[in-house]
C-alpha cells in the first residue's frame, strides 16, 4: 500500500517537482475527496491526460489509504 502511495507521489512530483511529499499527500487527499475536477485542473494543461491517469490511480490508492 505504501509502495503504491509512493508511486503516485513520484508521478505527481514529475509534473510538480517543487512540492514536498507531505504537501502532495495533502493535495491528493483534498482534491480526491473534496474536488476531483479541480485536481485535474491543478495539473499542467499539457499533461491533462497524465493527470487523468494519475487521478484514476490516486483514487484507488486514496480509497485504500482512507479505509485503512
Phi, psi of 67 (to 5 degrees): -75, -5
**Tens-digit pLDDT profile for residues 19-65:** 566 676 776 666 666 666 655 555 555 555 555 566 666 666 556 55
pLDDT of residue 6: 63
pLDDT of residue 68: 44
pTM of the complete model beyond 0.85: no
SS3 content of the chain, % helix, strand, coil (to 5): 80, 0, 20
pLDDT of residue 19: 58
In the chain, domain spans: 2-66
pLDDT of residue 9: 63
- Return the C-alpha cell found at 40: 485535474
Amino acid at each position: 500500500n505504501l509502495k503504491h502511495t509512493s508511486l503516485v507521489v513520484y508521478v505527481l512530483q514529475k509534473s510538480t517537482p517543487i512540492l514536498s511529499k507531505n504537501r502532495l499527500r495533502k493535495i491528493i487527499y483534498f482534491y480526491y475527496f473534496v474536488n476531483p475536477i479541480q485536481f485535474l485542473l491543478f495539473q499542467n494543461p499539457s499533461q491533462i491526460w497524465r493527470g487523468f491517469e494519475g487521478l484514476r490511480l490516486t483514487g484507488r490508492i486514496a480509497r485504500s489509504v482512507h479505509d485503512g
